[in-house]
Structures are given as structure tokens and as C-alpha cells.
Homo-oligomer: A and B are copies of this chain.
Amino acid sequence: MKSVVWQSLTEEQRESALERPAITEGANITAAVSDVINKVRTQGDNALLELTEKFDGVRPESIRVSQEEIDAASERLSEKMKQALEQAYTNISLFHKAQIPQPVKVETQPGVVCEQVTRPINKVGLYIPGGSAPLPSTVLMLGVPAQIAGCQKVVLCSPPPIADEILYVAKLCNIDEVYNIGGGQAVAAMAYGTETVTKVDKIFGPGNAYVTEAKRQVSNDFRGAAIDMPAGPSEVMVIADDSAKADFIAADLLSQAEHGPDSQVVLVTPSAELGERVADAVQAQLKELSRAEIAEKALASSLIVIADSIEQCVAISNYYGPEHLIVQTRDPRALLPELDNAGSIFLGDWSPESAGDYASGTNHVLPTYGYTRTYSSLGLADFSKRMTVQELSADGLKGLAPTVVTMAEAEGLDAHKRAVTIRVEALEKGE
């Protein structure tokens, strides 16, 4: 792992040290995805079957997974696996239920009552990537908040064959429909609907470059669907002082590095000596990993930053804005009020990122790539929308009328003024 001393860098060197690699989607991905979307919009289910055969190498018997198949999956799973998934489900449910907002109701001036009410987004689509191993944890992270928000229709797409773990969690989360479809074609199907696939209002979930580009394209079309948040490579930053255990930190850095060769991994510490021990521990642990090759590629662009102080570590983290931030210092909670621009924060020696990735209760769908400055950790709010309500009494309107009339005059909007004066005149006439 490369190491830099922050204090010795110029402003430009600092920016460059923490700069994220540019995401350069070729124009060919844009065009290929646009073709796939057009095909799905015009040819519906036929296009889905054809594209699935082409990209996933299987032509599923049916696009929709039947209830029998879902039930059969649950019978094949071990009790141990079911218990683990249920424990994670319980914890994630508890944390997301705690996010149910308080109703807001205020009488701003006599007779003028303003409210904020929350409603579930009606129809949501969850995308679960395929790949070498199934990702039931992502089904939990999307399915649980959709269930708690009360979305009327929740559908799930994943490339076939869909693993038993995914089907089991889909059942736990009461997902209405599961489809054997992946890639850009799945995103297109959920955004526009086909004979079989329900059109949804918003699409959630991670995916490869094609899925990401498809989400971008359908979210730029008002007839398409909204999406959860912009995507980017996964990241972890660790802030640690000399009280931290080097092998714990190394394990945390590696658990990020194994995600993919583009994973970003940064340690920030005021202790150069800890930095060296962590670098050694990473090398030692790396050898034992089945995904060592992937992790090694990610580590090639990883970084150890030696800072002047813990305060400077915090400033560096707030500037970088990491997706995951692990704090292993003598008193990690004392730093929390100063921490900003992070997706999810892990406090102390006993809070590894993998706890949150799977089962502590927090969501693992997080803003990355610097989007932590403006986007939030996925939560109940993303499956809901807020509407405002106002109710004025006759006296309330009379009291507010002079303010509205004066402002409407200033803005040159006669009819706005008239909507108030016509009512006040009616009141004065005793109508």
C-alpha cells in the first residue's frame, strides 16, 4: 500500500492523492443499453426472453418465478442459513421501522394549519445482480424498507438461475413478483412494463456498468422510472490512532478490497508506525483469501495517509466523503459530532464493516464516489414521498390575506391575489 504524509503535500497533491478514478463508460455502452431499452419497449416479453438467452445463456421457461419454485427454494436451504437470514431480516426491520417519521402538524398563525404527510411509493422494482455468488443481503436491504414503507407492489429482477437464498429472502420480505431477468433488459422492463413485468415508479439496486447506464437512461425519461441514487465503485476509509489493532484494520481494508478491482481503500492515521503495521498485516492476510487476485488489484490504488492529528484525520475524511467510514480510536464516539459526508460510520474495534453489510440493521446501499456530500444512506424515506397539506379556517384566511395580497402584488400575479380577495369579500358579505 502506498503511503503519503499529508503535511508534506501541496494542496494540488492532496487533491490528486484522494482523487477518485474517472468512470469512463464508453459510448458503446450507452448505445448498447439504448438498443436494449428500445427492444424491450417495442417487443416486450419476447425481447426479454431473447436478450436473456443472449446475455445469460439461458432461456427461462417463464419470465416470472412461480410461487411453487419460491416455496421449493425455502425447503432446500439449510436451517442455519434460514436462521441467519431471518436474524438479519429482524435487525434490518427494527432499524428501518425506527425510521417511520413523526407526523408534522403546525398552526403557523391562528387558523392556518400546515402538515407534512408521508405516503409509500406505490410500485417499486428491486434489482439484484447475479454473478459468481448470490446476494441475499441486497434483497434484504431493498426488500425490508419497501415492506415497511408499505409499497403496494414490490417486484424483483435478477438474472437466472436465481439462487435459493434470494428466493427465500424475497418470501420473507413478501415481495409480490420475482422475474428471471437481469441486466439492462431488467431495468427497461421495470421502467416501462411488458406483458408480464409490472411497470414500477422507482427502481433500486446495484449492478454492473450496463445496469447503471440503463438506470441513468430510464431516470432521464419522465415516462421511465425514478432511481435510488447514482452509482460508483465501493469505498472504505479507516480513521485509526495508535490504540487500534493493525490486524483488525487490515481485515477491514481487505473486506472492501475483495469487492472488486475498482474498490477504493484508504487508511488515515496520525501514527506512521501503525500505518506500517497495517501494511504488513494486509500482505499477510491477503494470501489466505479466495479472492486475493481481486483484492490485490484494488490494493494497488489504495492509500495510507499519515496525518498530523486525529483532527486532521477527520478533516481529510470529511473532504473525501467515504461510503464506509470505520473509526478505531481511543474514543471514537467523541469524534462523531465532527464527522460529515459519510454513508455509514462504524465506531470502535468491534464494529467491522461486514456487520453493517449483512446484519447489524443499517442499510448497505450507500452513496459513494463523493455523493455522500448530498445523498443519504438508503432508508425508509427513499421508499416514501412527503406531501404537504394546509387547511385554513375562514378567520385564518382573513388573517393571512394582507400578507398574500401584498406579495402577489409585488410579483404581478393578479389572479393569485384575486383567489384570496374573492374569499375575503364573500366573508365580509356574510356569504
Contact string, A228-267, partner B, CB cutoff 8 A, digits 1/0? 0010100000000000010110011011011100000000
B369/A222 in contact, CB under 8 A:
yes
Of the listed stretches A37-45, A60-68, A182-190, A349-357, chain B binds: A349-357
Kindly provide the distance from the CB of A107 to the nearest chain B CB, expressed in whole angstroms.
Answer: 9
Checking B85, B106, B255 against A416 with a beta-carbon cut-off of 8 angstroms, the contacting residue is B255
One complex includes copies of this chain to the number of 2
A88 and B403 form a contact (CB under 8 A): yes
Cα distance A414–B255 when bound, in Å? 8
Contacts A374-B201, A385-B374, A423-B349 given; does A133 touch B410 at CB 8 Å: yes
For A201, list chain B residues within 8 Å (CB): 373-374
Does A161 count as interface, using CB distance less than 8 angstroms?
Answer: no
Main secondary structure of the interface of A (DSSP, over half): mixed
A255 in contact with B377 (CB, 8 Å)? no
**Which B residues lie within 8 Å of A406 (CB)?**
80-81, 83-84
Indicate if A404 sits at the interface (CB-CB under 8 A): yes
| B410→A134 contact, CB < 8 A | yes
The stretch that binds B, out of A268-276, A301-309, A386-394, is A386-394
Q: Is the CB of A114 within 8 A of B95?
A: yes
B407 touches A85 (CB 8 A): yes
Q: Which of B354, B367, B373 has a CB less than 8 Å from the CB of A408?
A: B354
Is the pair B362, A403 in contact by a Cβ cutoff of 8 Å? no
Contact of A340 among B119, B290, B353, B394 (CB under 8 A): B119
Task: Give the contacting residue for A414; candidates B116, B290, B333; CB below 8 A.
Answer: B290
A370 within 8 Å of B (CB atoms): yes
Chain B residues within 8 Å of A379, by CB:
116, 386, 388
B132 and A412 contacting across the interface, CB-CB below 8 Å: yes
Q: A376-B385, A385-B375 are in contact. Are A392 and B343 (CB under 8 A)?
A: no
